[in-house]
Structure 1
Amino acid sequence: MLGRIGVAAALALLKFLAILPYGITARFGDGLGWLLYQLPSRRKRIVHINLERCFPDWSTERVESVAQQHFRHVIRSYVERSVQWFGSAEKLKKLVVVDSEVDLSDPDMPPTLLLGAHFVGIEAGSVFINYALGRPCGALYQPMSNKMLDAVARTQRGRFGSEMASRADSARIVLRWLRDKKPVMLGADMDYGLRNSTFVPFFGIETCTLTAVGRLAKTGQAQVLPFIGEVLPNYRGYRLKVFRPWQNYPTGDDAVDARRMNAYLEEQIRLMPEQYYWVHKRFKTRPPGEAPFY
């Protein structure tokens, strides 16, 4: 746990890195990730378990290669909070390529849920999509345990007009935003326990999956626009990919709708498996009687 001095020092470092050329900051994060991967750690073990469970046909060598690439991406993503939180709008605009299948600036956009996925570029995508929309949106977030860092993160994530709300207070606030036709950003591909969740397959594994997206879309009569923040190769920045709205969604069946989200994730993860957030305990909650993974 970081104390106030530790948090202040970390924020000072991020602000310093934000003024450096992006390539230097990105390479520093990449190198730090490589160095930390050489050390035994709980997070490294989680990455290996997740990859081995989801890709049982992979060789040991491929698991090791993707695990190392992923660890480097994760540490780099923390370092790049510098430019994402403290870099100027002009700097971000030069770093983010927007690849959208819909017109984000459409003033007649219907009530919309912007569904983010936890790839390593989610922070860049979430910060910039609000800028690309050109108008305020709502965003749900999971509060950090350190209150000082949480306050800074909340402010910087909302610096382009996003109204932030804790995930714990979400339903009432989200429905109000949707009634006001304010686009709402949220992520639902994490394991938050059994409440408001169901078990559906994810890479063939029964996985505790939130049902909130389908329920909110149904109640708020909203379309669902998935988006992904992708880290581009050769330290070129990011691609914000926004897909077309899901058709025939929601169905009203929580399990069917949750499986739809997981199937979409599987498709995208296979395109860049090293960038999905494997350091998270995605399979922490198991069906009754099943042994833990971690």
Structure 2
Amino acid sequence: MIEKAQFSNKLFHPKYWSLWFAASLARLTQYLPLDKQMKLGAAIGRLVKKLISRRVSIAKRNLELCFPDMPEAERERLLERNIEEIGKAIFDITNAWWWSDEKVQRHMTIKGQAHIAQTIADGHGVILFAVHCLPLEMGARIFGQFHPGVGVYRPHKNPVMEYLQVKGRLRSNKALVPKSNLRQMVKSLRNLDVIWYTADQDFGRSSATFVPFYAMPDAATITGASTLAHLGKAKVLPFSVIRNADDKGYTIEIMPPLDNFPSKDHAADAKRGNTIIEQIIDKDRAQYMWLHRRFKTRPNQDSPSVYK
């Protein structure tokens, strides 16, 4: 369990100077009003569209696969909004890592926090069942204002980025656990901690079951939430964060714990989980991270990629 960002003089090596400079510029933007940040972020998204053309094509294909009955013009508008939201997410991260608690509290709305208190009072750890929405960093920072939790994360290969993300994510939360450390996750849950868990990406064949996701009948879906809930004697509570429509604040919502979860059927649990993920995404589809290859693993290994 990581409870403090580890700084080393090696991080000042000249090869990292450009990254430190970029981080310093990003940190300065925290002083802009939130709605001005978001206007700038939308412009950045439109500006870098050609630079991330491969990711844009993946997002477009995902939208085609998930919403085949949506009129093409509507899908194109959704894609354009999504590109703008990607630019805005730069400032979501900046705000999550560097805003003061007082400034976070001025821009946040929290719904359903009583579900956390009741679940813990009942003697259960909490798994926040989240999705890879673009303002997710702010969701964790806001949650920590009333109940510091434990983040499950992927350590960054770049040591400066690792230092920055650990320091930023510990601003209002108690610890981080690498996603490979299942034992520590279980231990945290049995200690009645709260952890974030996401199951909306394709992690390959070995840990997946194939269940529906929107219009795709066979999306590779991990069943880790069932395993964690069982081993950690924990409850699973759906969790969402969205940037408000006026771009002047953020809203997180914690929903009641799922009944009869996990069941004895992990595939049924995964299918149920995907239905919940869809409901969270549908709060604002443009704020979801459509640019990852959600359907890269096919049930039949010989099937052609859906992204070609």
Tell me the TM-score normalized by structure 1: 0.92
Closer/same/farther in 2, CA of residues 270 and 179 from structure 1, 3 Å limit: closer
Residue matched to 1:274? 286
Residue matched to 1:89? 101
Could you tell which deviates more after superposition, 179-188 or 143-152? 143-152
1:135-154 matched pairs, under 5 angstroms? 136-154=148-166
Give the Cα–Cα distance (whole angstroms) in 2 for the partners of residues 8 and 137 of structure 1.
28
Q: CA deviation at 1:34?
A: 2.3
Q: What SS does structure 2 have at the residue aligned with 1:57? A: coil
Which of these residues, 123, 128, 133, is aligned with residue 137 of structure 2? Answer: 123
Residue matched to 1:197? 208
In the alignment, does 2:121 pair up with 1:98?
Answer: no
Contact 1:69–1:274 (CA under 8 A) maintained in structure 2: yes
Residue matched to 2:7? none
Q: CA deviation at 1:71?
A: 0.9
Q: CA deviation at 1:36?
A: 2.5
Q: What SS does structure 1 have at the residue aligned with 2:246? A: helix
In the alignment, does 2:253 pair up with 1:257?
Answer: no
Q: What SS does structure 1 have at the residue aligned with 2:128? A: strand
Which of these residues, 178, 185, 189, is aligned with residue 196 of structure 2? Answer: 185
Q: What SS does structure 2 have at the residue aligned with 1:234? A: coil
Give the Cα–Cα distance (whole angstroms) in 2 for the partners of residues 40 and 196 of structure 1.
29
Q: CA deviation at 1:226?
A: 1.1
Could you tell which deviates more after superposition, 110-119 or 65-74? 110-119
Aligned length: 289
Contact 1:214–1:249 (CA under 8 A) maintained in structure 2: yes
Q: Which amino acid aligns with 2:42?
A: D
Structure 2 gap segments, 5+ residues each? 1-14
CA RMSD of aligned residues (A): 1.8
Q: Which amino acid aligns with 2:303?
A: E
Could you tell which deviates more after superposition, 120-129 or 3-12? 3-12
Q: CA deviation at 1:204?
A: 3.2
Contact 1:191–1:283 (CA under 8 A) maintained in structure 2: yes
Q: Deviations over 1:248-294 (max 9, x none)?
A: 11102111111111011122323322121101111122222221122
Q: What SS does structure 2 have at the residue aligned with 1:235? A: coil
Contact 2:115–2:256 (CA under 8 A) maintained in structure 1: no
Q: CA deviation at 1:58?
A: 1.4
In the alignment, does 2:237 pair up with 1:225?
Answer: yes
Q: Deviations over 1:176-202 (max 9, x none)?
A: 111211111222211121232211111
Q: Deviations over 1:37-94 (max 9, x none)?
A: 3667111101100000100011221111000101111121123311111010011111
Contact 2:67–2:215 (CA under 8 A) maintained in structure 1: no
Residue matched to 2:225? 213
Q: What SS does structure 1 have at the residue aligned with 2:173? A: coil
Q: Which amino acid aligns with 1:195?
A: S
Residue matched to 1:64? 76
Residue matched to 2:5? none
Contact 2:141–2:173 (CA under 8 A) maintained in structure 1: no
User: Sequence identity, in percent?
Assistant: 28
Q: CA deviation at 1:229?
A: 0.9
Contact 1:113–1:223 (CA under 8 A) maintained in structure 2: yes
Q: Which amino acid aligns with 2:125?
A: P
Q: Which amino acid aligns with 1:259?
A: K
